[in-house]
Structure 1
């Protein structure tokens, strides 16, 4: 007969621990099974219109695309029907972007797009576009791009305008090259092809580019010479030889677009008639010795005072100005003991450079306001330069030509908004989303490409902080509105999903 196990407090604690561990294990197994079942999901992956059904455990679209080996470029657009988290039966859409060229009110701008036709691309701009803005799609290289996959109009006919004639191509689903071939239009290498909208009409336009020479006659202005004639009274002048303009023949190479001159360069010029100088005689000024004994006695007394002041001026007033740096370029002028001379030198040297801190501008003393030297780092010490210094810098800036190297270089507000209208619409952001985007960036930067927050360092139209975040979309992010807008739209898509949600956050928090 077996003895019953004796109950003890220790045995009770042990049994309870066993039960707890068993429950935890059972729960963990159940959760793991449930997680495995729910994490495995079926997703429709659409890449440029081609859909495949895939099975994945990925929690986000980014992870799914990595698993599937889909390489996403900077300007590509990725959308997920279930939002940030990948759900079962979600649809992930990838649209690969390519670069074409649009024309905004006469300014050509490279534009990244996912449009499947030129007509669709123009439609993007129409949805959010300001009526005053004219948008066309330019096809720059006819040999490389016209035969590509970009069709003109998926849904209908195309009006063709070339050589002063207008015709209609019924099948707009063809590339531009095919449509032009069907009309018997042969393109030359430099001819320009563009697509534009006129109401509901899609227009494929060909503009012929030709070159020619133009010969013109230009005037060669005569010069004027002045001679001193001691026989004339002091201050009197007379023309001894009348000046006559010459002539020169100039030959220009001219580029014509549809017969209208667009640009020209000077090829050569030949002087055909020499200009004849105009000669003016002027009476000589009389010397001091000719002005009488009274003048001589005055001069003598002046010499005495000058002699008495020579050493004092060098050791005093003049030397003081040299030590402050104002006479850096007047080496050897210490004998100019006249206080008037020293005062003038000091005034010239200090125009726009109070304190004489002219390091970095050696040789420029006396250049009032340092016109033309705004870029010299030596002027960094010219604090208190006053109005002259500022006006000098302004004059220099206005004369400097900066070569644009971006896509939408130093854009106006109208250009920036026109560009953003199309870029936002191809993400599906129209109507309220577009209105919210306009309000959001009005608040952030007033749509100014150079807007900068001095305290935070946020920069540009979308107010990127720091500014170099935008470098992923282009190296010229500080000057190129297209780069700033492209990055700003991407940021909104990644962070908020839409401009309306970003605006809501800005309204509640004060930033986005």
Structure 2
């Protein structure tokens, strides 16, 4: 016999070994096994020699195949060798191999078979010494209230390493119907006899009829109640695709070039986006058992709707000038003109300050549009914007924010200081705002 991996379960217990002998001739076997014990105690050395030399007729049961054998062998080990029955480490012999043979002895051999089982919902693998599935279920019944032998699957075949119920009928439960067929063959043949077809996803188990909820009133007319049931569970796996709408954002920009009493102007129409989600839904006999998300991806990017809101006050109408006195012979007017020098101070909203400072670098037109979009995405032009997860701060989202101290100690509160640092950063790393914006769109950072 081939060696057995160490991680497999141990040999059957004494209780399991005793249970092996309980086949359809259970009464006779119990009696004979009991007589072996009594006879062994009564025999002396001389009588043992006599038994070994005498011709005996014994019954040999190997995995349910029973035959009457004539032999001169003195013990069970000799009988098995004589009959060419090899016993491996996982096999069970009852009585023990060293037991003396007597005329009329019953010898039972059960080869070890590895099976997948489910006990009270928990799946595992074990070795079992049984002639058929019915005997295996009896041996395993001590482990839990609900025991199933789980068939291995290959396309449209279901297999167990033992027959279902030798010499007895079994119930085949599938598609809310029950058929009663001969269980003497392997599981695949039993399903075929019931005209039950299976596919690669279906689950096939063998259990006792009570666990399968088989009742006498559900059986075909005149059918007797089977002890064993083969149960087919239909498994369907379906992928469902759904598309969800991603609502567009609406941003309002303020402009001191537009009167405040006018309705907001649409600068960009924007649009809703969409997300496609694929889920895998598994049902067993029509009941959903799992619903897993397989993919979720944006299939159409939303575009922000941009409105421009005026902040410019509407000027008060100028009063009409009073007429000059008619006696005035001449009029003179004096006018004063003043000029203001260039100033490095900026005023207005954060965006307006940014636009002025960008223009001082020559970044107008499309470059200003790129800069405006970049910092709208990063901070919505808020000089107090803080990212709690990364620590980025301010209008340009400097990481860390303290980098902006190189342009002024008021970097935490002064938008102009932050903008000056940000413009230098963009110029040094990307050359232009559009270069930075292109990188941000591709990588979601800049």
**Category of TM-score, reference length = shorter chain:** 0.3 to 0.5
TM-score (norm 2): 0.41
Bigger share in strand: 2
- Greater C-alpha radius of gyration: 2
- Give the number of the structure with larger relative contact order, counting CA–CA contacts within 8 Å between residues 6 or more apart: 1
